[in-house]
Amino acid sequence: DTAVSQTPKYLVTQMGNDKSIKCEQNLGHDTMYWYKQDSKKFLKIMFSYNNKELIINETVPNRFSPKSPDKAHLNLHINSLELGDSAVYFCASSQWDEQFFGPGTRLTVL
Amino acid sequence: KNEVEQSPQNLTAQEGEFITINCSYSVGISALHWLQQHPGGGIVSLFMLSSGKKKHGRLIATINIQEKHSSLHITASHPRDSAVYICAVSRNPYNTDKLIFGTGTRLQVFP
């Protein structure tokens, strides 16, 4: 039973399109995150939600909109995709201590 | 300059060697994390520590809060240890604050 799951695993799309990535955790954690890993493998936080409420919003363009329908889900919607959005996006969850990461979604914008 | 620096950036070793990866940080932290990212891309948390030393199998992590430095040691390295090792720090004891990541150390262990 996967602890943190993401869909899709791969996403290839044209510039200007709108796409969503879904994340679900079955660990009962209160906190969920979205991270972006660029082509140089550098990880950076984008958003953090605690119990469905936005806690952290790093300087991410407002084309990116996270949505947490319940504390087990944190989805990421991206409008008007740009070439620079190509990256691997990781979802994670935590409760007090270690973070559990999803398998990542590789987004390629053509 | 990144708030979390790792060294070396790349590391190659022969099977069986003792390996050390270093992490220095410049901010106040509540905890330091060591993560492992395999070639397939998945990220696994290895350790979270705020003081002293932790050991899991062949992996040992130490932290010196005064010196703002941590080390990850791998004893009797094996090719399956080949991965990117990432140091990250968190600044909130309840872990709802962000992680700040180092740039990672790519380790290759040859048989």
Encode chain B in three state secondary structure. Answer: CCCEEEECCEEEEECCCCEEEEEEECCCCCEEEEEEECCCCCEEEEEEECCEEEEECCEEEEEECCCCEEEEEECCCCHHHCEEEEEEEECCCCCCCCEEECCCEEEEEEC
Please give the Cα distance from A13 to A19 (Å, whole number): 8
pLDDT score, position B23 = 98
Set of chain A residues whose Cβ sits within 8 Å of the Cβ of B107 = none
pLDDT score, position B99 = 84
- Rounded to a whole number of angstroms, the distance from the CA of A76 to the nearest CA of chain B is 17
Q: Does B10 touch chain A (CB under 8 A)?
A: no
- CB nearest to A97's CB, from B37, B95, B98: B95
Which of A38, A99, A108 would best serve as a mutation to test chain B binding (most B beta carbons within 10 A)?
A99
* Single-letter amino acid code for the residue at A75: N
Do the Cβ atoms of B88 and A88 come within 8 Å?
no
pLDDT score, position A60 = 85
pLDDT score, position A99 = 86
Which of A80-94, B25-39, B84-98 has the weakest average pLDDT?
B84-98
Do the Cβ atoms of B37 and A45 come within 8 Å?
no
Please give the Cα distance from B70 to B105 (Å, whole number): 14
Residue in chain A lying closest to B35 (CA): A99
Please give the Cα distance from A52 to A14 (Å, whole number): 31
Sheet with B19-25, edge to edge strand ranges: B4-7, B19-25, B69-74, B59-64, B52-56
Which of A4, A36, A41, A93 would best serve as a mutation to test chain B binding (most B beta carbons within 10 A)?
A41
**Band of pLDDT at residue A55, cut at 50, 70 and 90:** confident
**Band of pLDDT at residue A56, cut at 50, 70 and 90:** confident
pLDDT in tens, B28-62: 888 899 999 998 888 999 999 999 999 999 999 99
Question: Is pLDDT larger for residue B98 or for residue B24?
Answer: B24
pLDDT score, position A1 = 63
Which of A91-95, B14-18, B84-88, B89-93 has the weakest average pLDDT?
B89-93
Do the Cβ atoms of B43 and A55 come within 8 Å?
no
Mean pLDDT, residues B92-97: 57
pLDDT score, position B93 = 52
pLDDT score, position B6 = 96
Is the predicted pLDDT of residue B96 greater than 60, yes or no? no
Mean pLDDT, residues B58-81: 96
**What's the mean pLDDT when you consider all of chain B?**
92
Question: Is pLDDT larger for residue B99 or for residue A26?
Answer: A26
